[in-house]
Amino acid sequence: MNHRMKSGALTLSLFALTACSNTAGLESSFEESLTLDVAMIAADATIDEFGDMGQLFGGERQPHGRTRTATFYEDDMVQDALDPLTTDSIHLVVASSHEFSRDTWTGTGTRSRDHWITGLEGEEETRTVNGTGNASMTRSQHTDEHGTRSYSMSSTSLMVDVVHPVPRTKNSWPLSGTITRDVTINVINGPDGDVTKTRTVVIIFDGTDMPDMTVDGEPFEVDMSARSGRRPFRRRGR
């Protein structure tokens, strides 16, 4: 009798351990997928922000669904228009609302940025951008071999001393500076049901088209030259 009871207890213990292991495995896999999903959105937003400079100084076409307000200054006095020699700073405010689509990700949301561009006076060789941003995704859907995941997301960003070379060319990339994004993710029907997660993204520019990016410390690279619809990041070293 005691032998049967011990055997049954052992079977129940093994079952419980297996169930816990499976649950932990699902949670670990989901957390990894969530980190990749945040990397996707953060990389896309970085490329989007980089495009602001091309639209402002390079005559590139402004995307549909975007509004842009640029105020030009000389010695803290507002100018009627950009003057290549006397304008010393620009206050740039950008807002957009549209559909997003890259690789395995689709989404609907808004982005806004409030940036100051300085170092413009005279025949400058660089321009420096500082500022803040906000973003909101009402529907962010990601599909891969693990299935389909849906979230709503919000984020704030801080851009610090991002230096752009002058003149801007097809192969010009930010020389230095950082962008930090704090992302809040509302998970829908995850392994633990509906929960809220967070991630912190840090991007460090180095003059190349593949700047370093970390998501809660996990290393990636942003592919600044990725075309629309293509995957805009990769794991570092791959």
Rounded Cα distance between 102 and 40, Å, is: 8
What are the pLDDT digits (tens) for 129-169? Answer: 999 999 998 878 787 776 778 888 999 999 999 999 998 88
| Identity at 136, one-letter amino acid code | S
pLDDT computed for residue 16 by the predictor: 44
**Lowest-pLDDT range of 65-79, 114-128, 179-193, 210-224:** 179-193
The pLDDT of residue 7 is 54
pLDDT at 2: 52
Phi-psi region of 32 (alpha: psi -120 to 50; beta: other; left: phi over 0): alpha
Could you state, in order of their start, the residue ranges of all structural domains in the chain? 2-235
Confidence of residue 51 (pLDDT cuts 50, 70, 90): confident
Name the token pair of 31. Answer: 């957390």
Share of residues in the chain with pLDDT > 70 (%): 85
> Residue 23 has what pLDDT?
47
pLDDT of residue 134: 97
Better-predicted residue by pLDDT, 26 or 186: 186
Q: How confident is the model at residue 123 (pLDDT cuts 50, 70, 90)?
A: confident
Q: How many CA atoms lie within 13 A of 128 on its CB side?
A: 10
Task: Identify the residue whose tokens are 């200054």.
Answer: 73
Please report the pLDDT score of residue 24 as a whole number: 46
Higher pLDDT, 149 or 215: 215
Amino acid at site 211: P
- 39 in Cβ contact with 235 (< 8 Å): no
Least confident of 59-63, 106-110, 198-202, 221-225: 59-63
Which pLDDT score is estimated for 238? 57
**Can you give the length of the chain in residues?**
238
The pLDDT value given to residue 20: 43
- Residue 152: which of 109, 112, 193 has the closest Cα? 109
Confidence of residue 21 (pLDDT cuts 50, 70, 90): very low
Is the CA virtual torsion 111, 162, 119, 83 positive or negative?
Answer: negative
